[in-house]
Amino acid sequence: MARGTVAVVGAAETTEMGVIPETSELQLHADAALNAMAEAGLTAADIDGIAAAGEAPDVLAQYLGITPAWLDGTLIGGSSFMLHVRHAMAAIEAGLCTTVLITHGESGRSRVEAKGFPEFIGGKLAGQFEVPYGGSLPPTMFTIPVLRYLQTHGLRPEDMAPVSVVQREWAALNPRATFKDPITVNDVMNSRMVAYPFTLLMCCLRTDGGGALILTSADRANDFPRPPVYILGAGESAEGPMVSQLDDFISSKAFRLSGERAFAEAGISHDDVDHLMIYDAFAHVPLYGLEDLGFCKPGEAAAFVGDRNTAPGGSLPLNTNGGGLSYMHSGMYGMYAMQESIRQLRGIAPAQVPGAQVSVAHGVGGMFSVAGTIIFGNEPA
């Protein structure tokens, strides 16, 4: 695929964010979709491609009144939406459709007609070989690799705590963030133990919300009200969904492969990246992401964060909305990471990085076992 041939011309989150007990999961998808269509000046009649995870794309098409020529229901957890973007790029370039709507909505906290993880039931392989041992929830699955990672690199659990501390600093700048009060490394380490070595403040939130994107070909991108954000490169890979079967625990093969593909396609170097989002389901994920995407050498990401390189004023602003740890996390957070990348490149983020031109959004899914990476730019090349 050629870089910059497809652009985001609509991007919006749900009207409300946080605790939304009066809205079903389906309507959270629709609310975000309507907001994205409104800001792009489009109606359902203008959309001919649809992708969604959680709710199936045909369900959304019918609910929203869309007649699709292209559908994608890839559901691999939190990075599903990165994959939707990549697949939509290919579809638009191939002429299968012209204008794609990607929706996400999740009643992660209020659980109003919420879906579960389909792979983690009794007869599935994960249901047979992980769930019986308590491997049924993200806090006991996403987290299992980290002791091996810490020991290999001579790190301690408290070396992960600055991830939470720094992201809270970013969240304090974001009026929509769930948690804004400053925290210290001691606060993180003294918060309730959830799954050793992870304390509560190293774990993401559970909230309600959603988001939607509208993509079209770059040659139409200037016909819309908002400045377009171009897709420069994309990658995806998977090992999942069983965390016990990952290649190794000190580096994610899916992260590496996804990132390499995205950077190669974009034709950029790490020095070109102004802004970075790495899906932080738990505090260790940005550390693996920084290393596996090539921003840090193996074992050096914790010190990189601890030295405030990713903090406000640092050289590599990371998770500037506050992330899943402090902004919001409905269960499949990848959509919100991309929304923040797009806000930054449009110049409208609450914690705006001055002059941001290239942003990388990296999503994780499964149980720390699948990945999608999108590189956005505010110029097509």
Partner 1 sequence: MTDQTERVLPRPTPETVHFWEGTRTGELRLQKCDDCGKIYFPPRPFCPECGSRNVSTFAASGRATLYSYVISHIPAPGLGPPYSVAVVTLEEGPRLMTNIVGCDQTPEALTLDMPLEVTFEAQNDEITLPFFKPAA
Q: Which of 2, 193, 348, 381 binds partner 1 (CB under 8 A)?
A: 193
38 close to 257: Cβ distance less than 8 angstroms: no
Which region, judged by CB under 8 A, interacts with partner 1, from 78-86, 132-140, 166-174, 251-259?
132-140
Interface residue with partner 1 among 139, 314, 350, 380 (CB under 8 A) is 139
Single out the residue of 26, 212, 213, 242 in contact with partner 1 (rule: CB under 8 A). Answer: 242
- Asked if 129 touches partner 1 (CB under 8 A), the answer is yes
Structure tokens, 28: 């959270």
Q: Which tokens belong to 36?
A: 């994205």
Burial class (CB in 10 A: 0-12, 13-18, 19+), 260: middle
Which CB atom, from 170 or from 198, has the smaller least distance to partner 1? Answer: 198
Least Å distance, CB 134 to partner 1, is 5
Q: Is 269 in the site for partner 1 (CB under 8 A)?
A: no
**The only residue of 192, 269, 271, 354 in contact with partner 1, by rule CB under 8 A:** 192
> What character string, x for contact with partner 1 (CB under 8 A) and - otherwise, covers 84-123?
--------------------------------------xx
Alpha-carbon span 112 to 16, nearest angstrom: 15
Interface residue with partner 1 among 19, 137, 155, 173 (CB under 8 A) is 137
* Residue whose C-alpha is closest to residue 276's, from 291, 297, 254: 291
Whether residue 241 is preceded by a cis peptide bond, meaning omega within 30 degrees of 0, is: yes
CB of 218 closer than 8 Å to CB of 1: no
Nearer to partner 1, 151 or 190 (CB): 151
The span from the CA of 287 to the CA of 157, in Å, is 12
127 binds partner 1 (CB under 8 A): yes
Residue 151 interacts with partner 1 (CB under 8 A)?
Answer: yes
Residues 6 or more apart whose Cβ sits within 8 Å of residue 53: 73, 74, 75, 76, 80, 81, 84, 104, 332
At 367, list the tokens.
Answer: 């149980």
Of 30, 215, 243, 296, the residue at the interface with partner 1 (CB under 8 A) is 243
Of 74, 30, 33, 70, nearest in space to 54 by CA: 74
Give yes or no for residue 38 binding partner 1 (CB under 8 A).
no
Told to check if 197 binds partner 1 by CB under 8 A, we report: yes
Q: Decide whether 15 or 244 has the Cβ nearer to partner 1.
A: 244
Are the C-beta atoms of 166 and 308 separated by less than 8 Å? yes
**CB closer to partner 1 out of 124 and 220:** 124
- 281 binding partner 1? (CB under 8 A): no
Q: Do 360 and 375 touch, CB atoms closer than 8 A?
A: yes
The least distance separating partner 1 from the CB of residue 146, rounded to whole angstroms, comes to 7
User: What does the binding site for partner 1 look like in residue numbers (CB under 8 A)?
Assistant: 122-123, 125, 127-137, 139-141, 143-148, 151, 192-198, 242-245, 249
